[in-house]
Every structure is written in structure tokens, then in C-alpha cells.
Amino acid sequence: MRTQSFPVCRPDRGIFPLDELVVRSARDFGPHVVMRAWTGEDHREISYAAFAKAVWSVARWLVDIGIRHGDRIAILGENRPEWGMAYLAIQCAGGVVVPVDRLQPASGIRTLLTHSESRLLFTSERYLATVADAQPLPKVERIVSFDENNTEGATPWSLALDAGSTSAAQLVPRSLSDLAAILYTSGTTGQSKGVMLTQRNIMSNVAGCSQLLPLGPGDTLLSMLPMHHSFEATAGFLFPFYCGCAITYARSIKTADLLADISATRVTAMASAPLLFEKMHEGIMRNVRKKGVVARILFSTLMGVVRGAELFGKPLGRRLFRGLRRKASLGSVHYFVTGAAPLDPATSRFFTRLGIPLLQGFGLTEASPLTHATPPGRIRHECVGLPLPGVECRIDDPGESGIGEVCIRGPNVFVGYYKNEEATVDAFDEDGWFHTGDLGKIHPDGYLQIMGRKKNVIVTAGGKNVYPEEVETLLNRRPCIMESLVMGIPRHTGYGEEVGALIYPDLEQVASHFVALGTPQTMEAIRALIAGEIREAGKDLPPYARIRRFQVLTDEFQKTTTRKVKRFLYSGDLLAPGTDGR
């Protein structure tokens, strides 16, 4: 079968360094709104022209205080316009951005800033105490706070703006081969490495994203994921800045606040981790059920009509569910985009049929980060899409089912790990292919389906491979299971593994279950309920992939900032012996 090429929605504007991006966007979109941020009463708006002026002022101040080409400068803060201004000011001053995970403890911040040899740190008032706890920071010469109410010793952002606005410092143009950023992986495996991304790496990915969605002036993206993460930095900041879109910074991740921001600023697209969309899916269905029998029948009938129309290539959801989207405060939204973790295909189908295509992306920090994306109008819900223009993908050592390690090559692939030559050499083969550590298969039409992480595969005593993410998807669909983590448990013989799971229940659904039954909610009863949920999920699995042992957790899984479970923290957990989840 002939492989599909990525359907480009429009030519890109070209690939150029990030300092040139500021110049071009200010010139092309000057009066348009680039960012909106909640002040507590309303949304403060900033134009492209005003944003660029602030960037250049801070960049000149950085040059004046001695920042030179290649110096590392860190940013630690919440999503806000100043974060983006600092990022691009560092680029215009010739520096290298080191984004810092805002959930890092003081010890982690110290390790990152020391390893990167960052000379300066941009942060905000809420993190100054954590930064103080991280001392000593021998390489950090100055701390700049985005806010005015600072503890002693931090330079106010306003001082940098004012001093730079009257400076005559010359900004040296960047080249595409210059290092732009060092991003430290959050690492669900527990190992954090500094990913070095060049100007070409990042901007080739931004240009590729611009060919995915036909967005521009008049469109607004909602920024939710933390900006230090590569997915948000590219898809939620640099991509809309490249295309002339506006960015609304979510005031919080509470559902009511998100919907208020969407409605007030007419958000047309939003990107987030799958967990948010899965919870939105559940919330909409819960509200439909509350409306009564007539509403449920009407909803099911309309969904049936949309499903039937799909067979003839007719997407009717946008028209038929217009009223429901408006009532859910989603009337302005045209696209949802997700990445950073596996997405349940049922959630993808639901929103696409509701009239908001849910587009998946796949990638890694090392790929700036996107390698694949789902083209609008060509969604395959179990797949993460086609390679972006300029990106090559192959499967290394595929088995009989075509599953093997996903390997990537292209201008977006990083140049190496900072101060870690051994890890850099291990990441690439002799032909320059980057080995992602993810397992997948490429369908005949070129679509990539991710099957899990290479190191997470469970090998049964019968030689069967079980991919934990597939089992987790089925478990997480059960109403009384909020989240699950599936892992291999060594058999008593020492040969092969059994499939086990850690389960965090949906406490609200569990409570409702026992209220309806009129029975006490004991731990033994909860375990019996979860065992039943596991058995139901197992009906859709082959016998060798069904859960043999499980343990119920009383606390949520610890996660990275992109809501991935930190698997390495649970690898040594003892699963309850003798508990049969079949």
C-alpha cells in the first residue's frame, strides 16, 4: 500500500533563528494580541509590538551586565508573559535557555543550575523561597524576579526593562547551528539528562507544527501545561508566536476557571495532556446522564447518526452537537491537541464525534519535541499520526507483529546530552538514527501506533509480550478506577513474569457505589469491588495479559509535570500475593 505523506495545510514561513522570529512576528503581526493573562479582575492584553519591545530591552540589559554568546540562563516560574519574554530575550542576547521544572525541590534546582553552569536565573516571587533553600548556587551571579515584591537580593524585572530600554548595546544575530536551549528531562525512569537543542532543532519543529493546523491572527490558544516542558514551549508558545495567534494563559487548571478562560477569550485551540481530556469526557457524559432518560436517548441517537455518517466520510458532529458544545463553554473551540502521554482512543473518538477533533502528537524532548501528528480530517484514533515534514521514522528490529523500537531522524533531533558523551553515543546508531526507547509499529499507510516503552514490556513465561499501556487503558475505562500502573511480577519459578497492577480508585465513584448498595465502605469491600472491575476489563484481553495480582493504593500516583506516572518510584512495590484479578 502506498504510504501517505503529511497533508500540509499551508507553506511554512521559513526556518530562521529565534532572534529573527521576534523581528518577523513583530513586523507581521505588530498590533495583534499575542498574550492574555488574568489579573484577578480581567485579562491583561499584550500586542506583538509591545512584547517584542520588552524582549529587546531585556536582551540589551543582559548584554550590558556581561552575558555573552553561549552563556546559560535559567528560567523558573509559572506560565506568564514574562516567562516567554525572558526566553526570547536570552536568545536575542546570545544566551542558552535552561528551563527549570517549577515542581522541582530545592535540591533538584541546585543540581540543575550547578550542572548547567547557569550564570543568571529568572524567577518569580512565589519561587524565591525555594531558590533561597537551594543555595549555595556558586555559578549563579544574579537572580531576577518577574515581580516587584521581592526579598532582598533579587533584581526586579522592571529594572531590567527600564535599563535596557535606553541601552545602546548591540544584539549579535544568531545562526541556526547555535545552541538555543538545554532541557532537562523530567524522567519517569529517574534519570535526568540535559537535552541540547539548537536553533535549527527548535525552529524546524515550529515550522512543521505550522503546517499541521491552519491557525493565525484571530485564533487563540489556551496555555495550560508548564512552559518549561518542551511540548508547551514549542506547541503552546513558539508555534502560536510564529503563526500570529494569541495565547491565553489559564488562570488555573480548575475546570470552572478553564471554561471561563475559554469563553472570555474565545479560545479556538488548546493543548494538554490526555488526562485532562479524559476527565472532560467523563464530566460531559456524567452531565448527560443527570439530564434524565430523554436526554440520554437523544444524545445516543445523535452519536449514532454521527457514527453512521463517518462511514460515508461525512463529519456531522460539528453541526449536530453545536448546542451541547455551547452549553459546555466549548463553542469557540475548533481543535484539541494532546501529547506527552498515551491517549485512550475512546476519548479521541468522543471529542471528534462531538465536533472538536482531538489531534494526537508524538515526540520526545530530544526531538524538540514533535515527530508525528494527526492531520485534521485524517484521524486514526489508535495512532499518533504521520511524521511531520522533514522527519523520518523507522522501526528497529520489528517482530512478527511489526512491533519494534521507534527510531527518528531529522532536523528536529537534538545534538546530544550536555556533559554526557556516553549517553549521547548510546542514543544514536551509526547511521544517525535516534533510538527513542518507545515501541511502535508503522501501518501500511505510514501512520505510527505507539505500543509502549521498550523497558516496560512484560514478558510472560510463555514468551508473550504484554504492553502495560494497553492494559492500563482498559483498566482506566472502568468507572471505579481512576488510574492504574501495570507492571511485571517475577514468577515464583524465577522464569518469566506475571501481570500485576497498582490501582488508585475513583473515590467519588466508589463512595456512590456503596451508598447505592447501602453497605459499609470497608477496605475489604473496596478490594472486592476493584477485583470485579479488573475482571471486567480483562474480558477484552487475551488470557496471558490479564491481571494476576493487584494492590489498591490510598494515594494518587506521583507524576511528572506533564502528568506521566513516575514508574521508577513504584518498581519495587510489593503487590498483594494471592489476589486474583482474573
Residue 354: which H helix or E strand, with range? helix 345-354
First to last CA, the chain: 40
pLDDT in tens, 546-569: 999 999 999 999 887 777 788 778
> In the chain, which residues fall in CATH 3.40.50.12780?
213-410+447-452
- How confident is the model at residue 536, as a pLDDT? 94
Strands lying side by side in the sheet with 179-184: 155-156, 142-145, 120-123, 72-75, 96-99, 179-184, 194-198, 416-417
pTM reported for the whole predicted model: 0.84
User: What DSSP string describes 34-57?
Assistant: EEEEE-SSSEEEEEHHHHHHHHHH
- How confident is the model at residue 151, as a pLDDT? 65
Cell numbers at residue 511, please? Answer: 463512595
The Cα 406–Cα 402 span in angstroms is 11
Name residues of the chain where pLDDT drops below 70: 1-5, 9, 150-152, 186-191, 462-463, 492-495, 571-582
CATH match for 457-569 among 3.30.420.10, 3.30.300.30, 2.60.120.260, 3.40.50.300: 3.30.300.30
The size of the chain, in residues, is: 582
- How confident is the model at residue 217, as a pLDDT? 94
Phi and psi angles of residue 181, each rounded to the nearest 5 degrees, phi first: -155, 150
Contact 102, 121 (CB under 8 A): no
In DSSP terms, 195 is beta-bridged to 183, 417
Query: Which 8-state DSSP code applies to residue 29?
Result: H
- How confident is the model at residue 461, as a pLDDT? 72
Cell numbers at residue 276, please? Answer: 485532562
Give the three-state DSSP class for 167. coil
- How confident is the model at residue 470, as a pLDDT? 84
pLDDT in tens, 43-93: 999 999 999 999 999 999 999 999 999 999 999 999 999 999 999 999 999
Contact 241, 21 (CB under 8 A): yes
Collect all residues with Cβ–Cβ distance below 8 Å to 173 and sequence separation of at least 6. 17, 19, 20
Collect all residues with Cβ–Cβ distance below 8 Å to 192 and sequence separation of at least 6. 112, 184, 185, 186
> In the chain, which residues fall in CATH 3.30.300.30?
457-569
Give the three-state DSSP class for 349. helix
CATH 3.40.50.12780 fits 213-410+447-452, yes or no: yes
